[in-house]
Amino acid sequence: MTTEIETTVQQSLADASPRELADAIVKILDARKARDIRLLKFKEGNDLTDYFVLCSGTATTQIKGLAGEVEYRLGEAGVHPLHVDGYETGMWVAMDYAHVIVHIFHKNERDFYKLEKLWNEAEEIPLELID
């Protein structure tokens, strides 16, 4: 049985813009109970990426599960990461989808690295704008 999130992700990613991809990732993470999800948009001309999606998990098993779910759901729609790093330890998983980079942290790692502050020039997109 296909859930609403599965249908939405599969339909919306055929020719997705970076923002649509980021929104789909946020929805997947939210459905899997990720905590403190943030969507950051970088200014035009940034060489790194267009968007960061950041979230936290409560344990390494949840963090790995969140990363696995993102990879699985996007993979079903034909979207695959260029690179995944940190899955083995499950403390900070980074998933590179070119225009969108996903960071899934253990709370301690997120508190230590403070990417939101490091990339403070990025604009935070309010999640209530994602339908």
The whole-number pLDDT of residue 11 equals: 55
The whole-number pLDDT of residue 116 equals: 85
The whole-number pLDDT of residue 121 equals: 85
**Which parts of the chain register pLDDT below 50?**
1-2
The whole-number pLDDT of residue 1 equals: 40
In a domain, 99, yes or no: yes
In a domain, 67, yes or no: yes
In a domain, 131, yes or no: no
Structural domain count, the chain: 1
pLDDT, tens digit, 9 for 90 and up, residues 89-109: 999 999 999 999 999 999 999
The whole-number pLDDT of residue 7 equals: 52
Q: In the β-sheet with 92-96, what is the strand arrangement from edge to edge?
A: 83-85, 92-96, 100-106, 51-57, 35-41, 123-125
The CATH number covering residue 110 comes to 3.30.460.10
Domain extent, residue 55, equals 4-126
In a domain, 68, yes or no: yes
The whole-number pLDDT of residue 118 equals: 87
